[in-house]
Amino acid sequence: MEYNFTTIEQKWQNFWRENKSYQIDINTEKPKYYVLDMFPYPSGAGLHVGHPLGYIASDIYSRFKRQKGFNVLHPMGYDAYGLPAEQYAIQTGQHPAITTERNIKRYREQLDKIGFSFDWNREVQTCDPSYYKWTQWTFIQLFNHYFDNELQKAQPINRLIKIFEKSGNEGLNIACDPVDTFSANQWNNMAEQQQQTILMNYRLAYLSETMVNWCPKLGTVLANDEVKEGFSVRGGHLVEKKKMQQWLLRITAYSERLLNGLDHVDWSESLKEIQRNWIGRSEGATIFFPVKNHNLSLEVFTTRPDTIFGSTFMVVAPEHEYTNQITTPEYAQKIKEYVTMARNRSERERMAEVKTVSGQFTGAYCQHPFSKNPIPVYVADYVLAGYGTGAIMAVPAHDSRDYAFAKYFNLPITEVVSGGNIAYESYDAKTGKMINSDFLDGLEVEDAIPKVINRLEDKGIGSRRINFRLRDAIFSRQRYWGEPFPVYYKNNIPHMLDESKLPLELPEVDKYLPTESGEPPLARATNWETDEGYPLETNTMPGFAGSSAYYLRYMDPHNDSELVSPKAIQYWQDVDLYIGGAEHATGHLIYSRFWNKFLFDIGVSVKEEPFKKLINQGMIQGRSNFVYRVKGTNTYVSKGLRKEYDTMTIHVDVNIVSNDILDIDAFKKWNPEYKDAEFILEDQKYHCGWEIEKMSKSFHNVVNPDDLIQKYGADTLRLYEMFLGPLEYAKPWDTNGIEGVFRFIRKLWRLYHNANNEFEVGDGQPTPDELKVLHKTIKKITEDIEKFSFNTAVSAFMICINELTELKCNKQEILSPLAILISPFAPHIAEELWHLLGNNKSIVEENYPVYKEEYIAEEMDLYPVSFNGKTRFKVEIAAGATSKEVEETVLKMDEAQKWLQGKTPRKVIIVPKKIVNIVV
RNA sequence: GCCCGGGUGGCGGAAUUGGUAGACGCGCUGGUCUCAAACACCAGUGAUAGCAAUAUCGUGCCGGUUCGAUCCCGGCCCCGGGUACCA
């Protein structure tokens, strides 16, 4: 073999490990650069070719930045808590830590083979007590802080207690759940238990009885981002609503900052949009509608206060706290039936029946705040308890849902904004003149809104309000394999453990299942209590707990006394480049931004946003292959002939198919079922069908990087993954193309070797042509890396090697910089060539080559000449010629005369160095 | 429904402050080497017509702006992702 990649790659991986080539430390002499990959959950299936895509891109960038003179932090670790290991533990009784450790080992072996420049000295694992100590520590800080809306900043809870002691809670602008007002005197006379209950409404980590997403199959609650269309994202199990006492994080306090922060990060527009939608800011007003014959008012939120005169009925959610209070005896039974029906309908059913109108009149009436007219109050499940105030003023003329409801129940529809035709449909647009609206008549919508809000505020019956869709994050899980809460209960009041007791380690249990009484698995642990005998919290933390600040821990991973030292955070600051999947848009990427903002408020982190630039690598899709079985037989017909038979399509392992041609012997051995299979061939071959699908075991289209490395080497794999297409695009994996990259690697090798595979590089003077090839490649590669266009960079390398081969160039002055140039992409072969060139230091220490314009300058410019926009011929003209000279040269040419056919050109357009266009 | 992306050869893709459409690679066809194969190398390869030079068409569809449009504008179709009785 001319280039023995197996031996050579192994040799340099050992060298890098032994020489600690990738171990870095704070170095104030150099500018820092932090390149982070989203750390993986180590699943039992190992890595497939889709996983390393982002890691390869970030590795190329890290190596490049390092060679450009930066001190690059490029760590890797494991998001080690997760459901699969626990589900496996439930089935087999094996401790999830054992499964996890085994999977991590496998991941590490696979990662090592690809030749990454990770500083493994900084590895973190979220399930490691020395790591989750700081997850627990942060939770304690969240518990001990509240959010001041005025300052837009977290503050110590002790400060709030002092305020309460001095002046009670009246007039405070603090993120909290609804709390009755109390005076300083009242506060000071409260029992501790009562004080603690009140404080719970203000804490950033708090315990609350709320509606949660309960997944019976997983036996746990889930956060909103873990539920999609009524099913759990992990596992796809049904999720229902249930009222439970849970820990929550008051992420909603940070809504405004989470939204504004998006304007200051370099992320894709689509990802930022997803987050903006998820946060869901809407401006409007809350308005109080007094309920007739009751001493209470219904508070509604609306973004269209201008349409208040068009409000002809009210709707409250079935779960609304006033539903029972205001219902008249006459309607009590019907309301009870409706609420029960609505409650029993699963989320899934509600979604499926979106178009169906349902609701029930309560018998109660509100009084319109301006017209004083009575307005009927309905209960309907198209109003959600969890959004706004759980009640609306319905304006059927200008809201399509209210319109459908009004039509169904035959309620009046009053037009208040002109511009639509309400006989046919509601007019929802925010433009038009106000009509039928008393003091608003004649105004444009945009002017009516502030006017009506001012009037509401003057009368004290409403106010301007900004509402967010974002909900507080449910932070408890009724599972075993997660971080224990540093919490114990004393008289049912939760208390935080003293920091000296951290980490609170996960206890052993006999089974990984809930107890008979339905408590979480931790309740099975013996002595699950403090030294003083107080019971410890039995819930564990969710998956996003451990991943919310791991990027900070990498900066100072062995620090036992702080999450991160001021020295480390001052130097490393934040993540400059973060690469990972877009599936974390509404989970991890929101939570960690929130988490970081909190840590910023309490002085731990130093940047408001943790991830300066973020790139979502596209998903690698699978390319499945099919065979066609003639129904009822064991005969398989080639794709082109399948129409002549009645066939069924069967997935076949892509690893026994090459260029869509089936390896028949391998197929027979693949599964005993096919041992005696017979085939109907086309030109002696069995042609398979193909389709792009998700890469999955069940489709038999999974490609393992280990197999490819064994066959082609890691450098080839790295290059091919990049060559597939733009980093951010979803693209199908087709192993067939890898041969082209493999050929390129061997061609690169041959450039430095003679026909006998002996290293042979001369020290002759490079020709201008050779220098030009080198320097235009340096220019192109540098530009491409900086814009993360790795696929075009690989093409540029191929062109470069093709041209140097053509020139038979084997000169050291060209081949030396070339080795450095390619080293971020193909580090093994580059390192080998570098040492063959006589260097002793590792190539990773070298400076990246810089191109020189003088070598690239062209003497001649090639002009395509077109007539009426159609290119007809090309002409070379000396560089630097004026437009006039170009015009004269071109018009004098025979070919030009041929196309002119004796006519005089009407106009000649000359774009210097680009094109000549002659208009006839 | 709404919000983001994206539609270019047989395939992955390249080229945009509007200037030679299809770089590079795969596949395919033919050839050199070989007893044969593998490897390697050479030539061709958007479609149509033609022996050929060449011509016409061609970047999802329809229209517009322009000397010139894959790129800009208007209207539509399709695919992918996000989100949803969010008031």
Rounded to whole angstroms, the distance from the CA of residue A736 to the C1' of nucleotide B11 is 10
Same domain, A604 and A726: no
Choosing from A636, A667, A702, the residue where a domain stops is A702
Q: Write the CATH number for A91.
A: 3.40.50.620
**pLDDT at A691 (0 to 100):** 82
Nearest protein residue to the C1' atom of B4, measured from CA: A270
pLDDT band at A321 (very low <50, low <70, confident <90, very high): confident
Q: How far is the CA of A709 from the C1' of B25 (A)?
A: 19
User: Cα separation of A363 and A332, whole Å?
Assistant: 9
Residue A263 lies in a domain: no
A440 and A306 in contact (C-beta within 8 Å)?
yes
Domain-located, residue A422:
yes
Domain containing A100 equals 5-123+551-616
A714 and A843 share one domain: yes
User: Which of A825, A818, A847 has the alpha carbon at shortest distance from A748?
Assistant: A818
Nucleotide nearest to A732 (CA to C1'): B12
Asked if pLDDT for residue A736 goes beyond 70, the answer is yes
Distance, Å, A691 CA → B48 C1': 30
Summarised one tens digit per residue, pLDDT across range A351-401 is: 566 667 888 899 999 999 999 999 999 999 888 887 888 899 999 999 988
The answer to whether residues A713 and A844 belong to one domain is yes
**CA–C1' gap, A358 and B1, in angstroms:** 20
pLDDT above 70 as % of chain A: 98
Claim to verify: residue A297 and residue A367 sit in the same structural domain: yes
Nucleotide nearest to A906 (CA to C1'): B67
Whether residue A758 is found in the same domain as residue A892: no
Count of alpha carbons within 13 angstroms of residue A566, beta-carbon side? 2
| Protein residue at shortest CA distance from C1' of B5 | A270
Lookup: nucleotide whose C1' is closest to A864 CA:
B20
Q: How many domains does chain A have?
A: 5
**pLDDT, tens digit (0-9, with 9 covering 90-100), for A26-65:** 999 999 999 999 999 998 888 888 889 999 999 999 999 9
DSSP A513-552: S--TTS--GGGGSTT-B-TT-PBBP--B--HHHHHSSHHH
Statement to judge: residues A714 and A840 lie in one domain: yes
Q: What is the pLDDT of residue A518?
A: 81
Mean pLDDT for A759-764 is 89
- Nucleotide minimizing C1' to CA distance for residue A869: B68
Domain for residue A197, yes or no? no
Task: Specify the residue for token string 């299936």.
Answer: A45
| Per-residue pLDDT tens digits for A397-452 | 999 889 889 988 999 999 999 888 888 888 888 888 899 988 989 988 888 999 99
Distance A917 CA to B18 C1' (A): 14
Choosing from A832, A855, A878, the residue where a domain stops is A855
Residues A868 and A848 in one domain: no
Average of per-residue pLDDT across A516-528: 89
How many Å from the CA of A9 to C1' of B26? Answer: 26
A773 in the same domain as A680: no
**CA A344, A347, A348, A352 torsion: positive or negative?**
positive
Instruction: Please indicate, yes or no, if residue A253 is contained in any of the structural domains.
Output: no
Do A589 and A663 share a domain, yes or no? Answer: no
Q: Determine, yes or no, domain membership for A766.
A: yes
Give yes or no: residues A63 and A22 share one domain.
yes
Which nucleotide is the nearest neighbour of A381, by CA and C1'? B85
B80: residue with closest CA to C1': A730
Nearest-angstrom CA–CA distance, A711 and A745: 13
A656 CA to B51 C1' distance (Å) = 44
Of A855, A878, A908, which residue sits at a domain end? A855
Burial class (CB in 10 A: 0-12, 13-18, 19+), A831: buried
Q: What is the CATH number of the domain that holds A818?
A: 1.10.730.10
CATH for A442: 3.90.740.10
User: Which nucleotide has the shortest C1'-to-CA distance from A382?
Assistant: B85
Q: List protein-proximal bases of chain B (any atom < 7 A from a CB).
A: 3-5, 11-15, 19-21, 23-28, 39-41, 55-56, 67-69, 80-87
Task: Tell me the per-residue pLDDT of A842-864, one tens digit each, with 9 for 90 and over.
Answer: 999 999 999 998 888 877 777 88
Q: Is residue A838 included in any domain, yes or no?
A: yes
Residue A885: enclosing H or E segment and its boundaries? helix A883-892
Q: Identify nearest nucleotide to residue A380 by CA to C1′ distance.
A: B85
Helices marked H in A69-201: 83-92, 96-113, 129-143, 157-167, 184-188, 192-200
In a domain, A534, yes or no: no
Task: Find and give the residue nearest to B2, measured CA to C1'.
Answer: A277
DSSP H/E element including A53: helix A52-67
Distance measured from the CA of protein residue A867 to the C1' of nucleotide B56, in angstroms:
16
- Provide mean pLDDT across the span A724-729: 91
Alpha helices in A369-483 (DSSP H): 400-409, 445-459
Q: What is the pLDDT of residue A100?
A: 95
Q: Is residue A254 part of a domain?
A: no
- Nearest residue to nucleotide B25, by CA–C1' distance, is A740
Both A789 and A863 in one domain: the answer is: no
| Residue A629 CA distance to nucleotide B36 C1' (Å) | 35
- Å: A825 CA to B30 C1': 36
Q: Is A695 in the same domain as A657?
A: yes
- Tell me whether residue A211 is exposed, middle or buried, using C-beta atoms within 10 angstroms of its C-beta: 0 to 12, 13 to 18, 19 or more: middle
